[in-house]
Structure 1
């Protein structure tokens, strides 16, 4: 997906995913807005932010939008594996 609106539109079309990796700084509809919209649509998929920021206020705002987890980039194999383990 290229932007937050596309993520919302894909779910509106009936597709679903076990996990959504999303960044705060994506075009058209940022990650926080997209997460809020997906949650308001009843989407229960695990949503994980992948962002370069470790600022507590940004993390809190994103978590309040409905995230399941927040990871600071760059992603490592161990980080990704721990996320996937939560789904399985």
Structure 2
């Protein structure tokens, strides 16, 4: 049986939060979960994000920090795209220069947002995803 538009719009979206800072992970998780239409998962670096996706996890939205140890957001985004991950990936970072932002976008981001993450931005990302469902 095919799912209806109502069924797909009522399902909770899966969001992966990737950041090496525990405070930022907690803050972003709280912001994202205020929408009440999401299920979140958090990881500490890009390698964990890649590994969890290799393990079969699927996300509608990945909020990716740029500067992390082990595997940074640029490397992780490139690898996720090479694996065929089609999730919306948004870089959420404090990158300061245009070239840093561009390098991150070129890795395969769908969008870029400067820290700190705000509820209005999360709601806009979720609306974009829901329009595609």
Give the TM-score of the pair, scaled to structure 1: 0.95
Larger CA Rg, structure 1 vs 2: 2
User: What per-residue deviation string (whole Å, max 9, x for no partner) do you get for residues 33-76 of structure 1?
Assistant: 00000000000000001001242101110111000000001111
Q: RCO higher in 1 or 2 (8 Å CA, sep ≥ 6)?
A: 1
Match 2:94 to one of 52, 58, 80: 52
Q: Which runs of 4+ in 1 moved over 2 A?
A: none
> 1:9, CA displacement in angstroms?
0.4
Aligned pairs, number = 88
> 1:78, CA displacement in angstroms?
0.8
What runs of 5+ residues in structure 1 fail to find an aligned partner? Answer: none
**Structure 2 contact 66–95 (Cα < 8 Å) conserved:** no
**Structure 2 contact 61–89 (Cα < 8 Å) conserved:** yes
